[in-house]
Amino acid sequence: MSRIYIPAAVFILLVLEGTLFQILISFNHTIEMTLVPRFLVVMIILIGIHFGRQSSIVYGMIFGFFYDVVYTQLLGVYTFGIAFIGYVFVYYHKRIQDSLLIQLLIIVGAITFFEYYQFGLYRLIGITEMAAPLFVLERLVPSIVLNSVFAILIYYPTKKLFDYVKRQENLRER
């Protein structure tokens, strides 16, 4: 039963991210910034830090594909991007697992990279014509703040969940 907790949590975050984005985008008329929740990226990084690079790549590909199918017009942008983030930004080490600050810095780096990746790709294809300085001020910085707060809020609950799943896995192996 505990095997389904992490995929269920990631799925809930996938739905929450899409729903919250619709709410945040509707408030965009009064302020000159766009808050983009990247809860899926945050969770994939946390999964990778606690379970290893292979887990983050698999979760990144599966849920990135779901994200592409449900929320975007281009297949593969999120599938490749989130799996790549899971590969590049994951460090499986006990010291990193115990440090909120280091994990937060890794998450901020991953979100920054993912936002630039998506911005560059959409700019290359012609979907967006936003200038880079405007992108940084109106989208990147507010998104980093939002996702950093989210990462801090879910750090301890996910750590407890991951520890519980690991304990259950060890019990099954006996």
Q: What confidence tier does 29 reach under pLDDT thresholds 50, 70, 90? A: low
Cβ partners under 8 Å of residue 124, min gap 6: none
Q: Tell me the per-residue pLDDT of 65-77, one tens digit each, with 9 for 90 and over.
A: 999 999 888 889 9
Q: Could you tell me the pTM of the whole model? A: 0.91
At 95 the pLDDT is 75
Residue 23 pLDDT exceeds 90: no
Q: What is the pLDDT of residue 30?
A: 62
- pLDDT of 162 over the 90 cut: yes
Provide the 10 A C-beta neighbour count for residue 8: 10
User: Which own/partner pairs from 131-138 qualify as long-range (CB within 8 Å, at least 24 positions apart)?
Assistant: 137/33, 138/32, 138/33, 138/34
pLDDT (mean) for 92-109:
87
